[in-house]
Amino acid sequence: MAIVTLQNVTYKYPLTEAPVLQNVNLQVNEGEFVAVIGPNGAGKSTLCYTLAGFVPHFFKGELTGIVEVAGVETHQSSLNEWVLNVGLAFQNPFNQISGAKYTVFEEIAFGLENIGVPRGEMKPRVEKALALTGISDLADRSPYSLSGGQQQRVALTSILVMEPKVLVLDEPTSQMDPIGTREVFGVIRTMAERGMTVVLAEHKVEWIAAFADRVVALKDGQVLLDGKPGEVLTSPLLEEAGFGISRYTSTARKAKEMGLWKKDQLPVTLEEAVEGFRS
């Protein structure tokens, strides 16, 4: 059952000539974890903003085609209704801290206060969300005193607490060290395992290969490839189009040319590479 449907979506920011998204068709099923990859400027962020309703409601500009989430069309909805269905977290965790709250607990409750959740319901929901992302111990700290990885988890938690149907993440680990990345991916994986629909724009292909159900490759605002991670991430088209690919894939491709890789399927992760070279 498709919860997100994009049909022939073309979008132009105000004051720009060329469209950022061109004829994008995309369906995401309920409970699916879809990763979106693409070089810089391919339209990943714009796609995320479109799913989250900020295109066209916040950025204005020209949107044609159909964007539908949970049976509602974007043009027939307003942003503050839309955000109840689709949660968005993005790159810079620092700018996602509201600045209106003095502790992490209050920061996470901010969204619930805004949509008028009664006080009695608020506390258990915040506590549950904190436990889910493993930051219960940060509840009384100031959000500004945290590390980047911790702040990003706070940003994620403050979206999760609102219980959106679809979670849209725009490179949530881009400015993070390996430890922060592992922390954030851990949270995303938990959410996906609990059946939340996740759309994740990300460069880190090895993580994507390990977690995602499907990968969509964007290039110049168009969908280049759409399929299983193992197929999309090892496609020869990717390297030609200037995508960052896994070092294990490129190593195995070289090895295949030299006759050292016997399998048809190329690896993306270290485990797959080790297994392939062993056989």
Residues at the contact surface with other proteins, assessed by CB under 8 A: 52, 54, 58, 79-80, 83-84, 87-90, 92, 95-102, 105-106, 109-119, 122-123, 126, 142, 144-145, 155, 158-159, 162
Q: Is 73 left (phi over 0), alpha (psi -120 to 50) or beta?
A: beta
CB nearer other proteins, residue 123 or residue 254: 123
How far apart are CB 45 and other proteins at their closest, in Å? 11
**CB of 97: closest distance to other proteins in angstroms?**
8
Select 129 or 268, whichever has its Cβ closest to other proteins: 129
Do 38 and 219 meet the contact criterion of CB atoms below 8 Å apart? yes
CB of 186 to other proteins, least distance (A): 22
Closer CB to other proteins, 97 or 273, in the complex: 97
State the minimum distance, in angstroms, from the CB of residue 213 to other proteins.
24
What CA–CA distance (Å, rounded) separates 138 from 20? 39
- Within 13 Å and on the Cβ side, how many CA atoms surround 110? 18
CB of 132 to other proteins, least distance (A): 17
Written as one letter, the residue type at 9 is V
Nearest-approach distance from CB 69 to other proteins, in angstroms: 14
How many Å apart are CA 162 and CA 1, to the nearest integer?
23
- Tell me whether residue 89 or residue 225 sits nearer to other proteins (CB atom): 89
Q: Which is nearer to other proteins, 91 or 246 (CB)?
A: 91
State the CB neighbour count (10 A cutoff) for residue 244. Answer: 13
* Kind plus residue range of the DSSP H or E element containing 125: helix 119-132
Q: Rounded to whole angstroms, how far apart are CA atoms 54 and 77?
A: 12
Question: Which of 62, 163 has the CB closer to other proteins?
Answer: 163
Residue 161 token pair: 């607490």
Dist CA 195 CA 190 (whole Å)? 9
